Amino acid sequence: MKIIECPRDAWQAIPHYIDVRKKARYINELLKIGFDTIDFGSFVSPKIIPQVRDTAEVLSLLDLSSTATRLLAIVASEKGAETASAFSEIQDIGYPFSVSETFQIRNTHRTMSESVEIVRKIQDIALKKEKNLVLYLSMGFGNPYGDYWHPDIITEWVEKLSAEGILTFALADTTGLAAHEDIKYLFSSLTSAFPHLEFGAHFHAMPNEWKIKIETAYLAGCRRFDGSIAGYGGCPMAQNDLVGNVPTENLLEYFTAEGENLNFDRKKLEETLQLFPQTISP
């Protein structure tokens, strides 16, 4: 079982700039909790997402001396992958590949065909630098743009892209549309058809929806889940009314009740929950 904490996703949509020292202090506390991975920043155009323009500076302020937690950075281009891969502290590189043509253009200003070539280049960079590429399949459970969607589209793209040597795929519920039957079908079929690959769930959900989504994915075989403390976040490129992330504290409570040994520091989690409002305050 892997829990990925996503502060980058939490604060990228916050309109006012969060001071780099606040970000670093907050992530340093997250590093003490026991997460498998922290999605801590992005190497993307500062014009598109100005909140994460200081990712390299944040990284320089992190204390990684006594943690086993991995660091993941999101990129949207070959250049971003080169930049991220230059840092030895970063183990994982994430790229958002959308199964919706409309959203791929909206999010990265590239078509899906162009993005396939970018994925190949980023994977080549990752392999050379001994990084793991996490491919986020955006709009993985449907989209609001009218583009054709069917669960089997996800399977087709996993088959095609895993041929490039990519081992980790995270299905992203970008606009919170994931339906119970689609979640069950996708994770059941994917984990069965591709046992050598790792599949994760990055859900966005309203407060009354998170549990059914997490439970359905878990019972269907998913063992990698993204969350964000207090449920903040959402993709600013997706729509005007952001649907937040699943609260990480809810994930930890749910999986503990299911008997999963997550080995996390409960006291430090509570302290970090208290720190979060201070971190994002103007």
Q: What is the C-alpha end-to-end distance of the chain, expressed in Å? A: 35
- Residue range(s) defining the domain that contains residue 108: 2-271
pLDDT the model gives residue 172? 94
Show pLDDT as tens, one digit a residue, over the chain (282 residues): 999 999 999 888 788 999 999 999 999 999 999 999 999 999 998 888 899 999 999 999 999 999 999 999 999 999 999 999 999 999 999 999 999 999 999 888 899 999 999 999 999 999 999 999 999 999 999 988 889 999 999 999 999 999 999 999 999 998 888 999 999 999 999 999 999 999 999 998 888 899 999 999 999 999 999 999 988 876 544 444 556 889 999 999 999 999 999 999 999 999 999 999 999 998
Stated pTM of the model: 0.94
Residue 148 placed within a domain: yes
pLDDT at 105: 92
Instruction: Give the pLDDT of residue 175.
Output: 83
Residue 47: per-residue pLDDT = 85
Q: Is residue 277 part of a domain?
A: no
Q: Which pLDDT score, from 0 to 100, does residue 15 have?
A: 86
Q: Number of structural domains, the chain?
A: 1
CATH code where residue 26 lies: 3.20.20.70
Q: How far is CA 275 from the centre of its chain?
A: 22
Q: Is residue 282 part of a domain?
A: no
Tokens of 100: 């919706």
Dist. CA 57–CA 78, nearest whole Å: 21
Q: Does residue 276 form part of some domain?
A: no
Q: Is residue 8 part of a domain?
A: yes
pLDDT at 107: 83
Spatial separation of the C-alpha atoms in residues 125 and 200, rounded to whole Å: 22
DSSP 140: B
Query: Is 70 inside any structural domain?
Result: yes
Which tokens go with 40?
Answer: 């801590």
3-state secondary structure of 38: strand
Contact criterion met (CB below 8 Å) for 234 and 247: no
Q: Is residue 108 part of a domain?
A: yes
pLDDT at 240: 42
Reported as type and span, the H/E element at residue 94 is: strand 92-98
d(CA 94, CA 175): 19
Phi/psi for 232 (5° steps) reads -75, 160
In a domain, 281, yes or no: no
